[in-house]
Amino acid sequence: MTAMIEATNLCKTFKLGTVDVEVLKDIDLTINSGEFASIMGPSGSGKSTLLYLIGGLDKPTTGSIKIKGKELSVMKDKEESVMRRRDIGFVFQFYNLIPNLNVEENIMLPILLDGRKMKDYKDKLEEILEEVGLTERRHHTPRELSGGQQQRVAIARALINEPDIILADEPIGNLDSKTGTDVMKLLQRINIKKGKTIVQVTHSKEAAEYGTRTINVRDGRICE
């Protein structure tokens, strides 16, 4: 098993007014290829911060993060962006789709940002639309979709570039239980069938059960 994500001595401090708040304290974490890890913990424990640091959306105060063996802290904006579109797929609680783009365009966004042509990825798109069950809704805009459908678009977007890692922040936090179950099954299928490494942040024990590993974060520390 190869290490997909490696965090060493990871610390993150935020300034809250004049006070420094230590959100993550000396975190050491390794997530291997093909794992479906669920980070759990109470509100304010630092779980989402950990996910964003892994995804390169934020910088650690100290410590290091390696994605597929590459150190994030030495990466420039351009390299980091390339990593985000090629190696990582993000799924957010509030879906975060671009309202002006339709389903197809939203899914193809990472391809477009990578400077590649949409027409070269037609088959891939068909396959993913099939996978997430949105073939019929491909020309709709996000506001014409239900929450569950929007989340499936977000998952499809995270998959289009075939990244090795999928990071999901409360992926079912905004969905009803039935839709939530469908989404979790989809993620599980992706993990098993495609061998993708998935890291999700969740409050839900049920959601965590779809994963292969649970990481508990409390007061900025991991207590597995």
Partner 1 sequence: MNIIIKFLLKNIKEKKLRTALILFSITISAALFFASSATTDSMVKMYTDQIKKFYGESEIIIEAKDTAPSRYFNPTLPQEYKSHLQYSVGLFSGTGIYKYKRSGAKDENVSINLRGIDWKDQQIISKVTLASEFEVDPFQGKKIVISKKTADKYGLEIGKTLELMIEGTKYKFLISGIAQMTGPFTDDGRSHFAIVPMEILSSIYDQKGNVSTIYIKTLNSVEKQWIIKGLTASMKKQHVRETISQSDLQEQTGGVTVALSMALVLVLFMSVFIIYTSFKVITTERLPVIGTFRSIGATRKVTDFVLLGESVAYGVIGGLLGSGLGIGILYLIAKATTPTWDPGYKTSVQFTSAQLITSFLMAVILSLLSSLIPILKVSRIPVKEIVLNKIEKNQKGSKIWKPILGIIFLLAAFFVPPVAKGDPGILMDTVCTLLSIAAVILLLPYLVRGFVAVFERLYIYIFGNEGVLAVKNLRNNKNLLNNVSLLAIGISSLLMINTVTRSSVTEIINYFDTCMKYQMFFWVPEMDKSYEPILKAVDGIKGAKGFYSANGIEVKGTDKKIDSLESANKDFYMDYIDITLDGSKEATLKKLEQLENERSIIITGVVRNKLGVKEGDSITLKMPAGDRTYKIIAIWDSMMMGGNYAAIAEKYLKQDMQSKYYSYFAIKSDKNPEELLLFLKDKFARNLANGQTMKEIKDMVVESNSQIFNVMNAFSVITILIGVFGVLNNLIISFIERKRSLAVFRSVGMNKKQIVKMIFIESMTGGLIGGIVGVAAGLIMINIMKHMLTQVIATIPMNYSITMLTISATIGVIIMVTASISPAMKSSKLNIIESIKYE
- Residue type present at position 119: K
Query: What is the C-alpha separation between 148 and 172, in angstroms, rounded?
Result: 9
146 binds partner 1 (CB under 8 A): no
85 binds partner 1 (CB under 8 A): yes
User: Which residue in the set 32, 68, 109, 203 belongs to the binding site for partner 1 (CB under 8 A)?
Assistant: 109
80 binds partner 1 (CB under 8 A): yes
110 binds partner 1 (CB under 8 A): yes
22 binds partner 1 (CB under 8 A): no
- Shortest approach of partner 1 to residue 15 CB, angstroms? 13
Q: Which residues contact 157 (CB under 8 A, 6 or more apart)?
A: 89, 97, 106, 107, 109, 110
17 binds partner 1 (CB under 8 A): no
43 binds partner 1 (CB under 8 A): no
142 binds partner 1 (CB under 8 A): yes
55 binds partner 1 (CB under 8 A): yes
Q: Which is nearer to partner 1, 86 or 213 (CB)?
A: 86
Q: Which is nearer to partner 1, 61 or 212 (CB)?
A: 61
User: Which residue in the set 13, 32, 61, 96 belongs to the binding site for partner 1 (CB under 8 A)?
Assistant: 96
Dihedral-angle region of residue 20 (phi above 0 means left; psi in -120 to 50 means alpha; beta otherwise): beta
- Shortest approach of partner 1 to residue 98 CB, angstroms? 5
CA-based nearest residue to 32, from 78, 82, 70, 68: 68
- Shortest approach of partner 1 to residue 209 CB, angstroms? 26
Q: Which is nearer to partner 1, 91 or 129 (CB)?
A: 91
Query: What is the C-alpha separation between 147 and 180, in angstroms, rounded?
Result: 10
The packing angle between helices 103-113 and 147-159, to 10°, is 30
Burial of 166 per CB tally in 10 Å (0-12, 13-18, 19+): buried
Q: Which residues bind partner 1 (CB under 8 A)?
A: 48, 52, 55, 57-58, 77-78, 80-86, 90, 92, 94, 96-101, 105, 109-110, 112-116, 141-143, 157
